[in-house]
Structure 1
Amino acid sequence: MGSGPDRPGRTAATGPASATGPGTDSGPGGGTGSEAATGPLDAVRPRYGIASLAEVLPAASAVLGLPGADDPMGLAAELAGVRRIAVLLVDGLGWHQLPLAAPYAPTLRDLARGGRELTCGFPSTTPTSLVSLGTGAPPGRHGVLGFRVRVPGTDDVLTHVQWRDEPDPDRWQPLPTALERAAAAGVAVTVVSRPEFAGSGLTRAANAGGRFVGAADLGSLTDGMLAALRDGAGPALVYGYHPDLDRHGHVTGVASTPWRLAVAELDVALARLVDGLPPDAALLITADHGQLNVPAGNRFDLDTETELRAGVALVAGEPRVRYLHVRPGAAADVLATWSAVLGEAALVASRDELVAAGWFGPVPGEHLARIGDVVVACRGTHAVVASREHPVEARLVGYHGSFTAAEMAIPLLVARA
């Protein structure tokens, strides 16, 4: 973990960016904001600065009375009197997955009745979202711009979930975290997550500033979060992370039997958390993204459809959002080829187009090259796999990363003692 908000490589940040994203007719597929979406496959714009994942920890900080904390959702008024907050991020529990979970999760179903619909950022993937939550900033500002991204000036691809020390997390992600700001203001800050994530590059980028408590399973996660809430007499901020639902969605599919069993197990833990809250505490439940199942017939394969490799020097991203770094002078040909092969299955656009439209939020110059020269964002239930380069990934059932409501829309559920 880092040493504080002034450690080398980080610059001051007072809250989420004010940019609200593109207009209603400028995004992928002509989609509108999540508030106007009519179905899980509709395009949804990130609601940066209004109601996105990046607003959750600043709002929690406002509840705890931190000076200057942004709270566009009005959470401080709703949680007046709360001095201890637990934030639980359930990986893969999107807004459109809540109705599928409801028959197996009575506590979750009851909490969802009063829940708010937020969006994650773009791309709708775990590393990007965890750092948006942790910093209170959209992806362009913090620079963790995808599951896999090219390290500028090299031919190396950084897989953020396998990241340790290179590149230096304090420089790759330059913003202080919300946990650092809370700790500097005297709040007791605790991170409860899987032991193997302690000290990882992603943990340092997203959760620096908190005391790390390892929790190997859901029961330990619940115990650790409640213990941290009850410890001490002052204000407290506790962050917990649960990965299992996302894993089952990937491997066996959303709404599969293992996924439903994982929902039921999660619900038991939620009931324990709600019942165990101290009198001056609140629990916030959110997610990093949703998921959708991709049929085998809706997959393009980079390793068999060889025309997709023409002019492409390096491929990053993941199956629902591909970043194509092209050879000099090849951008127009790559755009044309991918548009012709994928047709209506994907939006194929230049990096400059998507940055200008606000899909990443403001992107400083030093972060631009982490995004591909060409961005391929899948529509509907399509994906672009690489069966030889990433064979395990190509065999998954559930995916996320693109701009559909099933992937972008996430919940914010609130429980008080």
Structure 2
Amino acid sequence: MAAQPTAPASASAWQDPVPLGLSTAPLPEYGSGSLADLLPTLAAGQGVPGMTAAITELSPADRNCVFLIDGLGWEQIKDHPAEAPFLTSLLSTSRGGTGRPITAGFPATTASSLGSVGTGLPPAAHGLLGYTVRNPDTGALMNQLRWKPWTEPRLWQPHPTVFALADAAGVHTAQVSSPTFQHTPLTKVALSGGTFHGRLSGDERMDLAAAQLAEGDRSLVYTYYSEVDSNGHRFGMDSDAWRGQLMYVDRLAERLAEQLPPRAALYITADHGMIDIPFDEQSRIDFDEDWELRAGVALLGGEGRARHVYAVPGAEADVRAVWREVLGEQFWVAGRDEAIEAGWFGPPGVVDQRVRARIGDVVAAAHDDVIITASVLEPRESEMVGLHGSMTPVEQLVPLLEVRS
């Protein structure tokens, strides 16, 4: 079993060790410094019953706003000070707040991370365990980002959100995002509670988020921007398109910070970081063209850097052995029980049967600059430049940047 982690005071304190086995996988900081700990910490400071302030250095505020920038990890901000001068200025404590990395959770991907943010629970508890996982009731893969095929949301993720609990406790609660997301199942199970306000432009979202923050004596407001991530997937982080989005979201963050009402705190974070993967055979291993990796596999889930592998009944041990032999120099490869006991998805004790059965018989997490594509099964995803999902610092570490009024 992997050793329990300690909270990183800086990015340098949370490094990717030499890959010598499962115990070297750098665990997310569940319970002290992960995305799942952020909203409960803020809500505890507002007096919401049942919430625990796990991120102990955050001081309570009556009005809290979380601005989540999809795909913008800690390392990406550090590496682009010219494009993100405002966000860069918040990396230190020079503005009187905290500027530190926290961890996304595993897998470091949008559906899992938004589930952790909204419910205040790790993936092992809320059950959104990646991009695609097998639905034990149907035997088919279920895409948890696009919610296809349809699955009853409250059966798939039954836990209440922090927003709903805060709203019930009398906190003014609101989400400000694209109208596209208002009625999606992922929003319902991860981010609902209070009032949803749809606005198309980033500028409108920042202005409305600030206004909603001022609406209550105690307020909890969430706002979101997705285009940094989508441009990273499509063009990569060396592209003008990605850098342009970073420049724009930097201005959005500053615009929101300048409008904070009294007794307010703004927390800027992300759901994961990102890494660009070259288009060559060494960096992109095609599952659909590799007979060894396909042998004994019934379904391939997850995504390129964090795979759930579902074996044909009776072939689980053989599949694990082959995947370790073929990929062991580039991936952490664990059986289901090993990944659970190691704490990849959260503390082992919070995994119930509902969630356990969704985890792959084999779980493979990349530690090198490599992905497992599926050119036939996943043609669109296989063409992406920027990827994420695993436990390396560039994917796991997300910013926790604070501005106070």
What secondary structure sits across from 2:175 in the alignment?
strand
Identity, in percent, stands at 43
Look up the match of 1:46: 28
CA distance 1:341–1:22, change in 2 (3 Å): closer
What amino acid is aligned across from residue 211 of structure 2 in structure 1?
A
Look up the match of 1:219: 203
Cα pair 2:297 2:311 within 8 Å, conserved: yes
CA distance 1:96–1:40, change in 2 (3 Å): farther
Distance between the aligned counterparts of 2:142 and 2:148, measured in 1?
Answer: 10
1:101 corresponds to 2:116: no
Q: Which runs of 5+ in 1 are unaligned?
A: 1-20, 26-32
Q: Which moved more, 1:40-49 or 1:134-143?
A: 40-49
Distance between the aligned counterparts of 2:136 and 2:100, measured in 1?
Answer: 38
Distance between the aligned counterparts of 2:382 and 2:339, measured in 1?
Answer: 26
What secondary structure sits across from 1:375 in the alignment?
strand
What secondary structure sits across from 1:122 in the alignment?
coil
Number of residue-to-residue matches in the alignment: 386
Look up the match of 1:73: 55
CA distance 1:164–1:391, change in 2 (3 Å): closer
What amino acid is aligned across from residue 48 of structure 1 in structure 2?
Y
Q: Which runs of 5+ in 2 are unaligned?
A: 20-24, 94-98
CA distance 1:40–1:254, change in 2 (3 Å): farther
Distance between the aligned counterparts of 2:268 and 2:103, measured in 1?
Answer: 14
Look up the match of 1:330: 315
Distance between the aligned counterparts of 2:16 and 2:323, measured in 1?
Answer: 26
Distance between the aligned counterparts of 1:409 and 1:237, measured in 2?
Answer: 24
User: How far 1:162 moved relative to its partner?
Assistant: 1.1
Deviations along 1:125-167, whole A, 9 cap, x unmatched? 1100001010111111111111101110323211112117932
Cα pair 1:22 1:359 within 8 Å, conserved: no
1:367 corresponds to 2:355: yes
User: How far 1:342 moved relative to its partner?
Assistant: 2.1
Look up the match of 1:10: none
Equivalent residue in structure 1 for 2:332, among 324, 347, 368: 347
1:291 corresponds to 2:297: no
5 Å-filtered alignment, 1:370-385, equals 370-385=358-373
Distance between the aligned counterparts of 1:161 and 1:394, measured in 2?
Answer: 17
5 Å-filtered alignment, 1:5-404, equals 22-23=2-3, 36-38=13-15, 43-75=25-57, 78-79=59-60, 82-114=61-93, 115-163=99-147, 166-231=150-215, 233-297=216-280, 298-361=283-346, 362-404=350-392
- Structure 2 length-normalised TM: 0.91
CA distance 1:395–1:23, change in 2 (3 Å): same
Distance between the aligned counterparts of 1:84 and 1:171, measured in 2?
Answer: 32
Deviations along 1:316-349, whole A, 9 cap, x unmatched? 1001011111111111221222223224111222
Distance between the aligned counterparts of 1:349 and 1:401, measured in 2?
Answer: 15
Q: Which moved more, 1:165-174 or 1:88-97?
A: 165-174
Cα pair 1:87 1:238 within 8 Å, conserved: yes
